[in-house]
Amino acid sequence: MEQTKKLPRLDFGYRVSRISRRLRQAVDGELAVFGLTEATWRPLAYVGLLGEGVRQRELAAALGIEGPSLVRLLDNLERRGFIERREQKGDRRVRGIYVTASGRELQRRVLRVSESVQRRLLASVSPADLKACARVFDIIEQGLDQTARGAKVA
């Protein structure tokens, strides 16, 4: 913690990364009873967030992984009966991802576990602090978006 006081800006990215990893590990630990790892529950959860029929390319971008890596994960989820990949109307080259009935049940479990872990971890954080944290994250995301578009961030 002492280093945080001395170099808060330099330490920030490291801490956000570490917290994100540890949060995923906490969720992973609770989802292991369902035979899921981060590699399998995240794509399933993101299809729920992005909507039925999401294209593989869009899902890969949202997850921050390369297309070939996503294909292997989707193959696994499809083999287990949690998703289906279907050709899209108007373009047979494009396949949308759809969640099956058993996949939807698993999505609900993932969501419940994720919410439970977050509730426990954030129980001692005030609503005002969470709101301030969300504002900071919004500013950082806007800066990242500008950087991705080639703009220089102050």
Two structure tokens written together for 126: 């005030």
Q: What is the pLDDT of residue 8?
A: 66
CB-CB contact of 84 with 78 (8 Å): yes
Is pTM, for the whole model, over 0.75? Answer: no
Please report, as a single letter, which amino acid is at residue 114: S
Q: Do both 45 and 75 map to the same domain? A: yes
- For the ranges 34-48, 53-67, 126-140, the lowest mean pLDDT is seen at 34-48
In this prediction, residue 46 carries a pLDDT of 92
**Domain range holding 141?**
124-154
Query: What is d(CA 137, CA 36) in angstroms, rounded to the nearest whole number?
Result: 28
Instruction: For residues 27 and 111, give the distance between their C-alpha atoms in angstroms, rounded to a whole number.
Output: 10
Q: Up-side HSE of residue 12: CA atoms within 13 Å toward CB?
A: 8
41 HSE (CA, 13 A, CB side): 25
Both 91 and 143 in one domain: the answer is: no
| Mean pLDDT value across residues 55-59 | 92
pLDDT band at 70 (very low <50, low <70, confident <90, very high): very high
pLDDT tens, residue by residue, 113-154:
989 999 999 999 999 999 999 999 999 989 988 888 876 655
Predicted confidence (pLDDT) at residue 3 exceeds the cutoff of 70: no
Examine the pLDDT at 92 and tell me if it is beyond 80. no
Residues 35 and 76 in one domain: yes
Alpha helix ranges (H) inside 93-154 = 101-122, 127-148
Number of domains comprising the chain = 2
CA distances from 16 to 33, 121, 140 (A): 27, 15, 11
- What is the CATH number for 107? 1.10.10.10
- In this structure, the answer to whether residues 92 and 138 fall within a common structural domain is no
Residue 98 β-bridge partners: 84
Q: Report the first-to-last Cα separation within the chain, whole angstroms.
A: 27
Find the angle CA(19)-CA(118)-CA(54) to the nearest 5 degrees: 90
Residue 19 scores a pLDDT above 80: yes
